Amino acid sequence: MHTVLVNGRVVKRDHELVGIDMAAVRREVEDTVEHLRATLGDDAWAKGMNPDVPETKVLDNPYTYTEYRSASTHGS
């Protein structure tokens, strides 16, 4: 797709955003990150960027077309 319209307005053409100052957006994001790091502190920032991931278990997918069944998703 080479052109994207939103509410009748072209917002993307030839794989590039139209009417957006990406340098200004990047500066704003960098300023926000700097503010958050200064407010939170390095330890809280690092923990937020690398959160503890709880252990997970793989759930059965009841929408697959196989013969596999388990009590947790398909009953006994």
Q: Whole-model pTM?
A: 0.52
Q: Please report the beta strands in 1-76, taking only residues with DSSP state E, as ranges in sequence order.
A: 3-6, 9-13, 16-17
C-alpha separations of 39 from 3, 36, 60, 63 in Å: 41, 5, 43, 46
pLDDT in tens, 29-76: 999 999 999 999 999 999 999 888 788 877 777 776 666 666 666 665
**68/23: higher pLDDT:** 23
Report how far residue 69's alpha carbon sits from residue 73's, in angstroms, rounded to the nearest whole number. 7
How far apart are the C-alpha atoms of 20 and 48, rounded to whole Å? 29
Residue 7's pLDDT is what?
Answer: 93
Cβ pair 43, 49 in contact under 8 A = no
pLDDT at position 53? 79
Mean pLDDT (whole number) for 7-26 = 91
